[in-house]
């Protein structure tokens, strides 16, 4: 037996939840789909995955870290209080659920927990949404992901066509469902089978093979057309590099962190001018090695979830599935 | 409000604590050592030799520097003026309040070095990170075997820590200090020549070698060390990359799957052989 609701009734359910939680939903805003705070008449984007991944919910594109004031020799540092409200994130696809696992590895393990990330993560209740029809650029199953089961979800939602079904997984998820239990019907529902994938990639043995491919000529070839524009990293649900900078006005300032990208020259250049990754070949190589070799070495998982966003957004068609293919054939 | 050492552990690792500069030593025309204490005159944190600290002048920026020494109530950082932040730091005076966070990184393998004869090689500002190890060995003199320091700089005035090199360290039992400069100059009757050649000439017989200097010095010293039949795990160096977070999250200081801020900055030659040469 599953809890089901007509899709037409979903706004009503979200409205109800928004009374208690901050509710984030996939929505179309100014032509781009992304997660946004639920409000009446918001155009939900449930037919396919959102263009912008959910990473900015936990790791905002720009985030204030602390304030400071400096005058003559004195300095004051003031921490910025965090929001305390629980947030329900509805409609996260399996690929993006896996990306949250990748981000958790980075921000919450290896001896240091990042308090800015952890705070938002701890306050989040995740409702995963199963897929029925892959988009042209999807290849999540190639990365070992089940498109109908989101890893780490508090609630799993299933797309049944006219209706949605909900399954509480964690206690926290169950609690959320209980708040709107009156809206659900209880019925046996068959989950529609997943459609055929247009794109695939065979990553078997790739991390191991890459151990001996640092100096391979393949990188000249792969990097040639790259523009170092960083679009791939910005839309990537797992890319997590950031810069820390100050915004200063007179004697006051705020320390911010913002998304950064390993495609940029400034990313690694040191005071004095030494540059460990001087050209785009070195930078493109680092990006793909990070995704397919370094991250697996460090965290035992790939840093790619097969969401296909970079495949769609790359202005020069630098397709990661094609890179994987070239590595396999090299 | 003053922050004490215990508080540091509870604090957000990305937010600096307020500290003050209590002493500034002009080491060379472009290197100064800064002594830093908390507002209530304590050590901001207790670093192990080789660890790093993030020092900030918030209106200008923050930068990761090796901690060259620690005292009862302070830590020391020696900074060469190379960029915007270090230029601004070179202009501050005693009493300046700064931000500090840390300690970061692994530090030198002290336990592994215990009881062994150590050769410590430095070039230019590269003596700064290894000085923390030298000071530790001097403070715990009986825990280590013979201590040999070989240090070189471009000219006499570019030699850092001259009081240590020519006075303090010469009095330490079972410790030799050899200093060289690149070219002859008036008033210098010491050794002249580059560090790698000097090391070969001295032919010391240590069990563990620790080196830090400009990439070119490291590149030319390694063959000398290999000629001396060191095993790769007994050659230790400390590396530098651009850093922002210091806790292995922000991404930029990676060499292969290692982060210099967290897994380094100290690496053995054995570890470096497994990493891409991207530093």
The nearest alpha carbon in chain B to A74 belongs to B97
Domain ranges of chain B: 5-103, 110-238
Q: What is the reported pLDDT for B9?
A: 43
The nearest alpha carbon in chain B to A262 belongs to B252
How far is residue A123's CA from residue A58's CA, in Å, rounded to a whole number?
Answer: 10
- CATH architecture of the domain covering B5-103: Beta Barrel (2.40)
pLDDT digits (tens, 9 = 90+) for B122-150: 999 999 999 999 999 999 999 999 999 99
Contact B59 A73 (CB under 8 A): no
Q: Name the more confident of A161 and B216.
A: A161
The beta-carbon neighbor of A272 closest among B57, B83, B254 is B83
Q: What is the reported pLDDT for B10?
A: 56
Q: How confident is the model at residue B39 (pLDDT cuts 50, 70, 90)?
A: very high
Over residues B40-50, the mean pLDDT reads 96
Q: Is residue B268 within 8 Å of B236, Cβ to Cβ?
A: yes
Over residues B98-117, the mean pLDDT reads 97
| Contact residues on chain A for B215, CB-CB shorter than 8 A | 274
The nearest alpha carbon in chain B to A276 belongs to B279
Q: What is the reported pLDDT for B2?
A: 45
The nearest alpha carbon in chain B to A265 belongs to B252
The vertex-B77 CA angle with B76 and B78, nearest 5°, equals: 125
Q: Assess whether the region B5-103 and the region B110-238 belong to the same CATH fold.
A: no
- Quote ipTM for the complex: 0.91
pLDDT digits (tens, 9 = 90+) for A258-307: 999 999 988 999 888 889 999 999 999 999 999 999 999 999 999 999 99
The nearest alpha carbon in chain A to B243 belongs to A268
Environment class of A15 (CB within 10 Å of its CB; exposed 0-12, middle 13-18, buried 19+): middle
The beta-carbon neighbor of A214 closest among B240, B276, B279 is B276
> Ramachandran region of residue B232, left (φ > 0), alpha (ψ -120 to 50) or beta?
alpha
How far is residue B254's CA from residue A106's CA, in Å, rounded to a whole number?
Answer: 13
Q: What is the reported pLDDT for A201?
A: 97
Distance from CA of B84 to the nearest CA of A (A): 8
Distance from CA of B139 to the nearest CA of A (A): 29
Contact B244 A244 (CB under 8 A): yes
Distance from CA of B248 to the nearest CA of A (A): 8
| Sheet architecture: strand order including A62-71 | A74-79, A62-71, A252-259, A242-249
Question: Mean pLDDT per segment of 10 residues, for chain A of length 330 residues?
Answer: 94 96 97 96 95 97 96 94 92 98 97 95 97 97 97 97 96 97 94 95 97 96 95 97 95 96 91 89 96 98 98 97 97
Contact A115 B85 (CB under 8 A): no
How far is residue B192's CA from residue B153's CA, in Å, rounded to a whole number?
Answer: 10
Q: What is the reported pLDDT for B87?
A: 97
Distance from CA of A303 to the nearest CA of B (A): 12
Distance from CA of A159 to the nearest CA of B (A): 35
CB contacts < 8 A (A, B): 126
Task: Give the class (CATH, top level) of B110-238.
Answer: alpha beta
Could you tell me which of A329, A312, A311 has the C-alpha nearest to residue A320? A311
- pLDDT of B241 strictly over 50: yes
């Amino acid at each position: 037996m599953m809890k089901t609701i007509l899709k037409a009734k979903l706004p009503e359910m979200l409205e109800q939840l928004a009374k208690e939680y901050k509710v984030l939903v996939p929505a179309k805003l100014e032509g781009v789909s992304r997660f946004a705070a639920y409000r009446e008449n918001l155009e939900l984007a449930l037919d396919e995955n959102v263009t912008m991944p959910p990473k900015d919910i936990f790791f905002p594109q720009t985030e204030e870290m602390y304030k400071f004031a400096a005058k003559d020799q004195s300095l004051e540092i003031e921490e910025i209080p965090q929001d305390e409200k629980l947030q329900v994130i509805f409609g996260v696809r399996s690929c993006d659920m896996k990306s949250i696992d990748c981000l958790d590895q980075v921000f919450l393990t290896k001896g240091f927990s990042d308090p800015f990330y952890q705070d938002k993560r701890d306050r989040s209740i995740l409702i995963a949404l199963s897929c029925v029809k892959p988009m042209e650029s999807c290849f999540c199953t190639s990365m070992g992901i089940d498109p109908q089961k989101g890893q780490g979800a508090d609630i799993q939602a299933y797309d049944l066509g006219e209706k949605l079904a909900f399954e509480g997984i964690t206690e926290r998820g169950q609690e959320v469902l209980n708040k709107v239990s009156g809206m659900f019907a209880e019925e046996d529902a068959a989950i529609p089978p997943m459609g055929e994938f247009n794109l695939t990639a065979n990553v078997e043995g790739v991390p191991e093979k890459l151990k001996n491919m640092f100096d391979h000529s393949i990188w000249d070839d792969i990097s040639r057309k790259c523009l170092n524009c960083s679009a791939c990293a910005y839309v990537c649900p797992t890319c997590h590099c950031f810069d820390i900078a100050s915004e200063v006005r007179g004697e006051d300032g705020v320390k911010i962190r913002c998304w950064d990208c390993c495609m940029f020259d400034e990313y690694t250049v040191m005071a004095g001018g030494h540059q460990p990754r001087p050209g785009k070949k070195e930078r493109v190589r680092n990006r793909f090695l990070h995704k397919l070799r370094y991250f697996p070495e460090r965290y035992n998982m790939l840093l790619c979830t097969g969401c296909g966003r970079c495949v769609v957004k790359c202005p020069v068609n630098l397709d990661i599935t094609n890179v994987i293919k070239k590595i396999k054939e090299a | 409000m003053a922050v004490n050492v215990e508080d540091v552990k509870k604090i957000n690792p990305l937010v600096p604590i307020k500290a003050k500069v209590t002493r500034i030593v002009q080491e060379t025309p472009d290197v100064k050592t800064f002594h830093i204490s908390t507002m209530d005159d304590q050590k901001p944190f207790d670093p192990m030799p080789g660890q790093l600290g993030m020092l900030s002048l918030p209106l200008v920026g923050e930068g990761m520097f090796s901690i060259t020494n620690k005292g009862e109530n302070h830590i020391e950082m020696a900074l060469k003026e190379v960029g915007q932040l270090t230029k601004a730091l070179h202009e501050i005076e005693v009493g300046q309040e700064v931000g500090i966070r840390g300690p970061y990184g692994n530090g030198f393998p002290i336990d592994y070095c215990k009881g062994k004869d150590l050769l410590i090689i430095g070039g230019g500002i590269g003596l700064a990170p290894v000085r923390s190890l030298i000071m530790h060995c001097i403070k715990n003199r009986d825990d280590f075997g013979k201590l040999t320091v070989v240090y070189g700089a471009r000219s006499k005035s570019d030699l850092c820590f001259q009081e240590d090199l020519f006075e303090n360290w010469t009095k330490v039992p079972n410790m030799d200090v050899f200093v060289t400069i690149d070219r002859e100059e008036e008033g210098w009757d010491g050794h002249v020549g580059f560090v790698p050649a000097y090391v070969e000439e001295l032919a010391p017989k240590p069990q563990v070698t620790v080196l830090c200097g400009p990439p070119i010095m490291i590149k030319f010293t390694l063959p000398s060390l290999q000629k001396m039949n060191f095993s790769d795990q007994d050659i230790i160096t400390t590396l530098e990359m651009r850093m922002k977070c210091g806790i292995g999250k922000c991404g930029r200081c990676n060499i292969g799957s290692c982060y210099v801020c967290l897994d380094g900055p100290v690496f053995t030659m054995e570890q470096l052989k497994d990493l891409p040469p991207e530093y």
